[in-house]
Amino acid sequence: MAENGTAVRNIVVTGGGTGIGLAVATRFASDGHHVTIVGRRREVLHATVRELREESGLDVTPVVCDLADPDDVEAVLPHLPERVDVLVNNAGSRELAVGAGPHGVLARWRGDFERNVLTAVLITESLRDRFSEDGRVVTVTSVAALRGGGSYGASKAALHAWNHSLAAQLGPQGVTCNIVAPGTVAGTEFFGARLNEAELTRRAGRTLVGRVGRPADVAAAVLFLASPEAGFITGEILQCNGGELLGR
Ligand SMILES: NC(=O)c1ccc[n+]([C@@H]2O[C@H](COP(=O)([O-])OP(=O)(O)OC[C@H]3O[C@@H](n4cnc5c(N)ncnc54)[C@H](OP(=O)(O)O)[C@@H]3O)[C@@H](O)[C@H]2O)c1
């Protein structure tokens, strides 16, 4: 039994070594579930595993994989749980430093679709026969998918369309598929040095609650949609942005 009296579940969190994914993985592991975290950087995953063990006595399993690479995804399948109760598609990133001209445009668009769409779609399609009855797929997109954000926002919006069809395909077997779309979240690697004090203040001012998000805010939304109680919610987009769409 998990901490809250429910059955122990197998949870896979992509991008679980840092930021929002780490907050999600920590919550699930604290509740007593079996958690696998996936990312490209071995040293980051192993440092996270060590830290969780030493500081909180929690055990999570690291799996190194570039989720945008089909060969890599195929190769790690034996290292992922035979039965998956919850898949959190959280891995994703945005690269601003690309060149100009058609080649720059191509690099940005192709890159954003690889970084954000393929990282969710390849692993989900590969695991679809392993989802348990009452399984959960929760995919992390962005407010950029709803308010506009160039190729990055378009790639996250593509996940919204994909999620609708996934929800229809997996619904008959009891699996729900939902989206969490965060606004600005500080304390992750996503923005690198771009999120300085002035930018944080500007972004906080766009919300109705006067602050930017924390990884734990997004983790709480993910855990709700992944919970056994949320079985009648599917194909949904849960915004987690402090009212940013209304506030601007
Ligand atoms: N922070 C924000 O303000 C914000 C706002 C809206 C949405 N989001 C979304 O939230 C999600 C988590 O971002 P975050 O803010 O927590 O940033 P983060 O700290 O950079 O987390 C992203 C994680 O994804 C992993 N990852 C990236 N590409 C991968 C790939 N190809 N294969 C496997 N793992 C990959 C990264 O690890 P490796 O580099 O080791 O692979 C990293 O652990 C992303 O999808 C992001 O688009 C963030």
Does residue 158 lie in a domain region?
yes
Does residue 122 lie in a domain region?
yes
Does residue 30 lie in a domain region?
yes
Q: Which residue has the higher pLDDT, 75 or 5?
A: 75
Domains contained in the chain, number: 1
Does residue 127 lie in a domain region?
yes
Does residue 209 lie in a domain region?
yes
Helix (H) or strand (E) holding 223: helix 215-226
Q: Which of 152, 206, 221, 242 is catalytic?
A: 152
pLDDT band at 99 (very low <50, low <70, confident <90, very high): confident
Does residue 4 lie in a domain region?
no
Phi, psi angle pair for 108, to nearest 5°: -65, -50
Phi, psi angle pair for 214, to nearest 5°: -115, 155
Among 124, 158, 159, smallest CA distance to 140 is for: 159
**Mean pLDDT on 189-193:** 89
What are the tens digits of pLDDT across the range 138-175? 999 999 999 998 999 999 999 999 999 999 999 999 99
pLDDT exceeds 70 at position 248: no
Residue 71's CATH number: 3.40.50.720
- The model scores a pTM over 0.85: yes
pLDDT band at 246 (very low <50, low <70, confident <90, very high): confident
What are the tens digits of pLDDT across the range 197-234? 999 999 999 999 999 999 999 999 999 999 999 999 99
- Are the beta carbons of 102 and 55 closer than 8 angstroms? no
Range of the domain at 101: 10-241
Does residue 188 lie in a domain region?
yes
110-115 LR contacts (CB < 8 Å, sep 24+): 111/151, 112/151, 112/152, 112/154, 112/155, 113/151, 113/155, 113/158, 114/68, 115/68, 115/155
Give the nearest ligand 1 atom to 182 CA. 6
Residue 135 Cα, ligand 1 centroid: separation in angstroms? Answer: 23
**For ligand 1, is residue 92 a contact (CB within 6 Å)?**
yes
Among 155, 134, 153, smallest CA distance to 86 is for: 134
33 vs 20: CA distance, rounded Å = 18
**For ligand 1, is residue 189 a contact (CB within 6 Å)?**
yes
Does residue 187 lie in a domain region?
yes
